Amino acid sequence: MFKVQEMRELIRLIDKSTINEFTYKNDDAKLTIKKDSGITQVTEAPVANATPVTPSAPAVPSAPVQAAKQEPETAQVESTETVEEDANIEEVVSPMVGTFYQKPSPENDPYVSIGDQVTNETIVCIVEAMKLFNEIEAEVNGEIVEILVNDGDLVEYGQPLFKVKKK
């Protein structure tokens, strides 16, 4: 079964994200978190038994989802140079939902800065999920040209973190 603190941390992370439904399974339990009508709903059930069990932690109200502002669509013509430049840019994306950190600890320097050369094994940041600090590798050879996330921001699965100009 899940610890109450683990569930609270997951609820907090999901509540701050745009994710509407999250399911996590381990050997003996399944946890489902759903955001619907402004209320975060949590159910926990043993894997062998499909009957949901309400956890002891109270449901946390989520912030109302605001619709993104729609910009009027305009036709854009890109120059050949821009397209060629974009072909050499690759994004390093987050492999999980969690908190983004640029430094191994507050008193250390960032793993990478704009202009740094990286290899596919270079550690570029940490994503913290459920009190686990996961080192993220660049997985591409090149130069960091843009950092897309601020230190301490909540990131989602697949969210771009860095832009790297491939060698």
For residue 50, what pLDDT band results from cuts at 50, 70 and 90? very low
- What total number of domains does the chain contain? 2
Percent with pLDDT over 70 in the chain:
65
Q: Tell me which residue of 106, 100, 112 sits closest to 160, measured CA to CA.
A: 100
Max avg pLDDT among 31-40, 56-65, 157-166: 157-166
pLDDT at 56 over 70: no
Confidence grade of residue 35 (pLDDT, cut at 50, 70, 90): confident
* Structural domain includes residue 59: yes
Q: Kindly tell me if the per-residue pLDDT of 152 is higher than 80.
A: yes
Q: Is residue 75 part of a domain?
A: no
User: Based on the domain organization, do 3 and 51 belong to the same domain?
Assistant: yes
Please report the pLDDT score of residue 77 as a whole number: 42
pTM of the full predicted structure? Answer: 0.50
In a domain, 79, yes or no: no
User: Is there a domain that residue 71 lies in?
Assistant: no
By residue range, what is the domain housing residue 104? Answer: 88-166
The answer to the question of residue 78 being in a domain is no
Burial class (CB in 10 A: 0-12, 13-18, 19+), 148: middle
Same structural domain, 102 and 143: yes
Neighbours of 116 (CB within 10 A): 17
Rounded to whole angstroms, the Cα distance separating 7 from 2 reads: 7
Distance CA 14, CA 20 (A): 8
For the record, the structure tokens of 101 come out as 């950190």
DSSP category for residue 75: -
Q: Do both 93 and 160 map to the same domain?
A: yes
pLDDT of residue 36: 67
Give alpha helix (H) positions in 49-111: 80-87
Q: Tell me if 70 is assigned to some domain.
A: no
Residues 94 and 51 in one domain: no
Pair 55, 30: CB distance under 8 Å: no
On whether both 19 and 57 belong to a single domain, the answer is yes
Shared-domain flag, residues 105 and 161? yes
Question: CA separation (Å) from 31 to 37, 97, 132?
Answer: 20, 16, 18
Same domain assignment for residues 102 and 58? no
